[in-house]
A and B are shown apart, each in its own frame.
Chain A
């Protein structure tokens, strides 16, 4: 199996697992009337997922490039920052404080300017603060959205 074929096989297996779980839940939960439509859809879902899985297992699921090692390596630091920011930091430390840190972190991680470059840091900090002022103006002042304050703001 090539790396791509393994990836397609794994993805198809996960989708099949979700489809079968949805079908099982649809046929075992009560009241029956509330699950009529889910039953109908879940059967179609499972049949299609099984078909897709068989195609992937036999190497016929060829649409989609999968994920290369280089791309995965590029993505994970940003993905980690994204998940920490959205799922934990925004509520714990406050929306604005965590957004400043997340913006600056992602900008720094993917900025081609070397980290040791002082002017690069100055530019990144100015852009981050400028953008966050716009966001504050839009959401806090214009739309009056009350965001979680957390430890900071």
Chain B
């Protein structure tokens, strides 16, 4: 119950303002099609430099929570999921809105998001210290394998092609090695002056997540079609509360599925929403109503994608392995504030860690309140024309990446990585494993070097890195994650072997 002593930090005026601002801003960004939660959090990181670490993390945490929930607004009112996590919400939510139950769908969506989100954060509060204690047993060889596991899990599970997923992870690991070597001072892969200081993680994150979305918006051309919203007649909030209380089954399924999925590194909210929707349908006596505007579909999907948020931070805060791409960006945010997640996070920085986690709990409540009252307003802002969004994101990305170190080199790196990532994505490569490789690369290398030195003084690297129960367990998990993905790819290969012809 240590966390109870750190609620004061959340209610300091600046922290509370950041929490409210991050929540409202996140709801609007989440509701805007084309702006993903990951990109929103990446663009916000430069704004946290001038804040205390806890305050910066409060802003990022609020944005993470509310962008996932805000994505439901455009899923319901526009049938365009604001984020991949809201795909399942659109199935029944938009049908409800078309039938004149838009406000009801929005109420149910935010209330179920709130319930799932609070339970998810409670899991984060109680599981994290336990796992952190267990993680104290980890030495350099284990941390090396853990970092490799983080890259292979996301590389193999987050991508449609496991070869390209793992290749993306390798590209990220290579990018992390650019610059001067920490121990020997050797220059590595420095082809231009801009790379002398290595690749700054924030500039890279902004480029990799923001620029491909700008180019994606460009690819639509001068599309004059206006996005049509649906009129939203009022609905009693009291009735929505009653409906949520009477939907225990869908709510429970969504929360349980979301929490489990969140704990598995690399599996994002999209999976949580779709699996919960599918399970809620299987266990419902009204299976045939799913897809026709059934409230249980909205409740299960939204409870799941927000229940995922808290648990996705458990592996991040204890083992430095993010549970989702947005959590990977949060890891970048932690590192630039000098906070190193891992075994001793709660001993060295308890105030920062607990204030951040507690703010996520309060943020869930704020998200429900602001979500319900600003959803329709957010949907109107979300209809901002594509050229305005593209220009705004580009200018923000340039200013944001420059402000990190006041360096034009960072802008060059940001744009170059962003453009390269856009083309890589067009050929099946994935941003999440690349970013994870970039973030976990230095952790893997530092522990590899440390382990090599220890091994030289003991029985050699083969014994040090490949023996012992924990090493073997982690190696087994690496092999299993790659093997499962390979098997899964082979299983689905014959049906999709045909190439899509280009125009």
Interface on A for B, CB 8 Å cutoff? Answer: 2-5, 7-8, 11-12, 15, 18-19, 22, 25, 29-31, 33-38, 40-42, 44-45, 48-49, 51-52, 55, 59-71, 73-75, 77-79, 82-83, 85-87, 90-91, 95, 99, 102-104, 106-112, 127-128, 131-132, 135, 138-139, 143-148
Do A74 and B221 touch (CB < 8 A)? yes
A106 to B48, CA, bound (A): 28
Q: Shortest beta-carbon distance, A55 to chain B, in Å?
A: 7
Closest B residue, CB atoms, query A23: B174
Q: A71-B219, A102-B391 are in contact. Are A59 and B499 (CB under 8 A)?
A: yes
Q: Shortest beta-carbon distance, A60 to chain B, in Å?
A: 7
Q: Which of A4, A8, A19, A37 contacts B170 (CB 8 A)?
A: A19
Do B177 and A37 touch (CB < 8 A)? yes
Closest A residue, CB atoms, query B498: A62
Do B47 and A143 touch (CB < 8 A)? yes
B274 is an interface residue with CB less than 8 A from chain A: no
* B interface residue count range (under 10 / 10 to 19 / 20 to 34 / 35 or more): 35 or more
Interface centre among B49, B424, B502, by most chain A C-beta atoms within 10 angstroms, is: B502
Do A62 and B496 touch (CB < 8 A)? yes
Do B398 and A90 touch (CB < 8 A)? yes
Q: A29-B188, A83-B415 are in contact. Are A36 and B218 (CB under 8 A)?
A: no
Closest A residue, CB atoms, query B220: A74
Q: Which residues of A contact B219 (CB under 8 A)?
A: 71, 74-75
Closest 3 CB pairs of A and B: A112-B224, A64-B428, A63-B428
Do B403 and A143 touch (CB < 8 A)? yes
Q: Which residues of B contact A51 (CB under 8 A)?
A: 163
A20 to B257, CA, bound (A): 42
Do B218 and A86 touch (CB < 8 A)? no
A103 to B186, CA, bound (A): 41
Q: A34-B186, A62-B496, A74-B219 are in contact. Are A135 and B396 (CB under 8 A)?
A: yes
Q: Shortest beta-carbon distance, A81 to chain B, in Å?
A: 9
Which of B10-18, B110-118, B381-389 faces chain A? B381-389
Given contacts A5-B499, A87-B415, list 20 more A-B pairs with CB under 8 A: A2-B501, A11-B427, A19-B170, A34-B184, A38-B177, A51-B163, A66-B426, A74-B221, A79-B215, A79-B419, A82-B415, A103-B391, A106-B390, A107-B387, A110-B222, A127-B388, A131-B391, A138-B47, A143-B46, A145-B402
Q: Which residues of A contact B408 (CB under 8 A)?
A: 90-91, 148
Q: Shortest beta-carbon distance, B202 to chain A, in Å?
A: 14
A-B contact pairs, 24 of them (CB 8 A): A3-B501, A4-B500, A11-B424, A31-B186, A33-B184, A34-B186, A38-B188, A45-B167, A48-B170, A49-B170, A63-B161, A64-B428, A65-B500, A68-B502, A70-B503, A79-B215, A83-B419, A87-B411, A103-B391, A110-B217, A110-B218, A110-B220, A128-B391, A131-B392
A109 to B171, CA, bound (A): 34
B399 is an interface residue with CB less than 8 A from chain A: yes
The prevalent SS among residues of B at the interface is helix
Q: Which of B177, B391, B403 contacts A107 (CB 8 A)?
A: B391
B425 is an interface residue with CB less than 8 A from chain A: yes
Q: A31-B184, A37-B444, A86-B415 are in contact. Are A66 and B427 (CB under 8 A)?
A: yes
Do A68 and B503 touch (CB < 8 A)? yes
Interface on B for A, CB 8 Å cutoff? Answer: 46-47, 49-50, 159-161, 163-164, 166-167, 170-171, 173-174, 177, 181, 183-184, 186, 188-189, 211, 214-215, 217-224, 385-388, 390-392, 394-396, 398-399, 402-403, 406, 408, 411-412, 414-415, 419, 423-429, 444-445, 448-449, 452, 493, 496-503
A7 to B502, CA, bound (A): 9
A42 to B386, CA, bound (A): 40
Q: Which residues of A contact B428 (CB under 8 A)?
A: 61, 63-64
Q: Which residues of B contact A103 (CB under 8 A)?
A: 391-392, 394-395
